[in-house]
Amino acid sequence: MNPADVDLAVMGYRIAERGGVWHTHHSFGVLLTLLAERVRSIQFHGAQMPPASEYECDFALTHPKIRVTPWPVRENSLQELRHPVRLFHQYQAMVKSGRVVFLRGGGPLLWCCHWMARASRKPVIHWLVSNPAAALASAWRGYGRVWELLGRLYIGLDRQLTRLGITASAAHVLANGKEVARLYRSARTQVVVSTSIRRDDVLLREDTCRGSRIRLLYVGFIRPEKGLEYLLRAMPLIRSRGGVELEIVGSCEQFPAEFARLKAISQTLNLTASVRWVGHVAYGRGLFKHFDDADVFVLPSLSEGTPRVLVEARARGIPVISTNVGGIPTSIEDGVDGILVPPRDSAALARAIDYIIEAADQRRALIRAGRERISTLTLDHFVDRILAILGECD
């Protein structure tokens, strides 16, 4: 199949309208725009963001080949499961709108799309980005025990039905990391790493940690499975020269109770003067400035797919520390282009931070290897992989 002849039916990140223009998450919007340059059209179907989360949609979908079909506001999957007939009709319209179906992530009853595509004899590409069961099990989210149990049962059933759907449609699966690839193993499953980085985003920086104070950086949502508590508890354990400060960039609106708990921990540990809570920063120059001003990037997650921030940090020349959970070891090779420690281990985080600060030669080697590694993890490479799959489709 020639990609230039393909109308691509897409369901992925949620959308929000501002000023008469539809917006989506930056990384997904750039991906769609790059694909639009190579296919005949993009038929993008997406649920609308609730107003409190619209800031996450910061990329304007203005490419003339991208047509947006908005669905009603979706707060969460549980809410949407109350309207199965509406969901069925939305999925049916999405599948009908293109010659090839492209799905990102999961969603309520999304496995139906595979059976619809099979009935219509349409190829499917399904990009699976995370393991929701691992995320739910990694940290208490405050939903209540009954809802947590029901959530695990639903996720388990949905996983089995998605596997059956993938088999039925003979879908090409793009799995974020080896953990997700094992869950959705098939002859057409490929392991990938999430990325937002373009080739022009790479900063040629040779070293960090040369100032009198060391700046640690975390970028990501503030929610239980991100493990921020363990990074905060690592701060008093750092023994290296000079002072150390931590900048936390990311939104807290989704889990305000977790944000309040972390602030209380920070105060108990007397870290108020050393920890700066920045809030959400849109992708681009503003976010890059935070990366460029930092000395060490730390992602202490308890569960992950293949987080984009690990690619972004290495692209901006920062040594990275993270945990050996989920798909992170697919993105980072421990001791080569980053350091991986066990989850929930503040002492190990502190030792890794001390090591990067004090071992200058090894720190510079990590930065160089990180830059070399991300040269194969750009969004341009990811688009080429999708186009190659389209070329294989009948």
CA distance 242 to 235: 13
Cβ(134)–Cβ(145) below 8 Å: no
Q: For the chain, what is the HEC assignment?
A: CCHHHCEEEEECCCEEEECCEEEECHHHHHHHHHHHCCCCEEEEEEEECCHHHHHHCCEECCCCCEEEEEEEECCCHHHHCCCHHHHHHHHHHHHHCCCEEEEECCCCCCCHHHHHHHHHCCCEEEEECCCHHHHHHHCCCCCCHHHHHHHHHHHHHHHHHHHHHHHHHCCEEEEEHHHHHHHCCCCCEEEECCCCCCHHHCCCCCCCCCCCEEEEEEECCCCHHHCHHHHHHHHHHCCCCCEEEEEEECCCCCCHHHHHHHHHHHHHCCCCCCEEEEECCCCCHHHHHHHHHCCEEEECCCCCCCCHHHHHHHHCCCCEEEECCCCHHHHCCECCCEEEECCCCHHHHHHHHHHHHHCHHHHHHHHHHHHHHHCCCCHHHHHHHHHHHHHHCC
CATH topology (fold) of 3-195+378-392: Rossmann fold (3.40.50)
* Domain boundaries for CATH 3.40.50.2000 within the chain: 3-195+378-392, 199-374
Name 125's bridge partners: 102, 172
Could you list the pLDDT tens digit for every one of the 394 residues in the chain? 999 999 999 999 999 999 999 999 999 999 999 999 999 999 999 999 998 888 899 999 999 999 999 999 988 777 788 899 999 999 999 999 999 999 999 888 999 999 999 999 999 999 999 988 887 777 776 667 777 777 788 888 999 999 999 999 999 999 999 999 999 999 999 999 999 999 899 999 999 999 889 999 999 999 999 999 999 999 999 998 678 999 999 998 888 999 999 999 999 999 999 999 999 999 999 999 999 999 999 999 999 999 999 999 999 999 999 999 999 999 999 999 999 999 999 999 999 999 999 999 999 999 999 999 999 999 999 999 999 999 999 8
- Name the pairing type of β-strands 21-24 and 15-18: antiparallel
| Contact present, 284 and 116 (Cβ < 8 Å) | no
- Would you state the pLDDT for residue 141? 65
Residue 98 near residue 66 (C-beta atoms within 8 A): no
State phi, psi for 359 to the nearest 5 degrees: -95, 85
376-to-308, 324, 379, 381 alpha-carbon distances in Å: 14, 21, 9, 7
Of residues 51, 65, 40, 42, the one with CA closest to residue 15? 51
Yes or no: is domain 199-374 CATH 3.40.50.2000? yes
338 vs 367: CA distance, rounded Å: 8
Look up residue 2 and give its two tokens. 């020639």
Give the long-range contacts of residues 322-326, CB within 8 A, separation 24 or more: 322/298, 323/227, 323/299, 325/134, 325/138, 325/301, 326/130, 326/131, 326/134, 326/177, 326/179, 326/180, 326/301
Candidates 162, 103, 94; CA nearest to 131 is 162
Report how far residue 29's alpha carbon sits from residue 351's, in angstroms, rounded to the nearest whole number: 38
Q: What is the phi/psi pair of residue 229, to 5°?
A: -55, -40
Angle at 379 between CA 376 and CA 382, to 5 degrees: 70
> pLDDT tens across 265-318, in order?
999 999 999 999 999 999 999 999 999 999 999 999 999 999 999 999 999 999
Burial per residue of 67-92, b for 16 or more beta-carbon CB atoms within 10 angstroms, e otherwise: bbbebeebeebeebeeeeeebeebbe
pLDDT at 135: 76
Look up tokens 């499953």; give the residue.
189
